[in-house]
Chain A
Amino acid sequence: MNFLLQLLNGLQIGSIYALIALGYTMVYGIALLINFAHGEVIMIGAYTAVFTIQLFLANTNLPYILAVIPTVIICTLIGMLIERLAYKPLRNSPRISNLITAIGVSLFLQNLMMKLFGAQSRSVPSILNAEPLNFFGAKISFTTLVTIVVTTILTILLQLFIKKTKYGKAMTATSEDYGAAALVGISVDKTLTMTFAIGSALAGVASILWVSSYPQAGPMMGSMLGIKAFTAAVVGGIGLIPGAVLGGLVLGIVEALTKAFISSKLSDAIVFGLLILVLLIKPSGLLGEDRKEKV
């Protein structure tokens, strides 16, 4: 029974990884950029949630979950802003400059928030407080259930958006070839901005789900979370929506089971070990296709 519970735990945290990984994978798929600042978008989302609840929702009778609205809006705007100010001017620069810029943006946001709101974490009031549900005799927290359900719905919506709508198809085309996409009349700039916007909006949702189960917001919280989510995206096969979800879930489950049954100290090592193992066996990730350089 404990195993089942830990599995659900894993699914929950894995769902959050998956939501964040979607942002990484979409941006990487199109801009070939590891957006190290993506973790910081989540951190800003968490702060937004804290302040919305403390300064506004706590004084009303409204449910705290409404904090999701300003959080998603702020995250989306921050994501677009980062793209506009930092990444867009570098579009034709070497990849490494983009990587360093991403690291720079990430450091900047961490330190800015630390300066503004202090280095200590702020506790987040409980957002989803409902009775645990009974599930085959095991008690599942409401948060777990919501997290899994929300992630499932958002992933399906995202997949539909990309496959069925004009904008989604523009994204796919741009990720294949900038030049060719521009030739057929797709605005590469707009597509990239949209990609960042969608990825960051998902990050906003992820940050609400994250603070629902780990009720702390601190300036450094996004850093490791972001790296793990990126790891998940790579494990699943970077650039692929199903890959990000699969990778996120696998990572979450491995992490939860390691923490429960092996050692909580070693869990990070095992998670990263999993990444190495997957890449050595299948260099393009679980769902990725291998491509060879043409000679």
Chain B
Amino acid sequence: MDPLHQFQINPLFQIVLGGYDVSFTNSALFMVVAVAAIYALLVMGVANKSMVPGRLQSLAEMFYEFVANLVRDNAGHDARPYFPFVFSIFMFVLIGNMIGMIPYTFTFTSHIIVTFALAATVFVFVTILALMKHGLHFFSFFMPHGAPIALAPILIPIEVISYVMRPVSLSIRLFANMMAGHTMLKVFAGFTVMMISGMGALGFVTGLVPLAINVALTGFEFLVAFLQAYVFSILTCLYIRDALELH
């Protein structure tokens, strides 16, 4: 009945590497499943190379064009080389979230360390990109144009903090949404079970109320699963744009 039980990491194979426990866990299993699913969808989808796409090919092309438009609209035309990176991020988060909607699976995007590592990857990526593109001029990013010099002691720390906080907000947003949704589903499912075991025959009737709420929440969760993947990738695009254009 513990609604947090679903977030428990269970090792499937014990692996120790350089003194660290890097066991293959249920979380790792579903990361592998997600990658395999994404690869299979795209490669099998366009295997026929039909001029008139079938279902699977339409889906693969739809994902491709959706992310391509996302990158073009939000990161600009210069961001074309980084399309595979944004695509990988979007698909990894989206499929990770969606796999989590299947009962008895594990939602790896509901773990802060996973989302933080992903967000940190984005952060490091855009920072290196900006440094490579603009060199030391990159640091002018922290002093907004046209602001009086006198305000620099206040503005620069604020800008630096907001910049450094990017991976934190990016990762917490995704993690919190996924964890919240899944916990809610479990909590309401738990209510139904508690009512049935506690109230007997009456519990089968009253238990329908949290069950109905759970049905609505499940629909809502699918929306959140997509929306969070979208938000994660759109913010990645905006950070790439910042890195390319500075202001």
Q: Do A and B come from one complex?
A: no
Chain A residues engaging chain B, CB cutoff 8 angstroms: none
Binding site for A on B (CB under 8 A): none
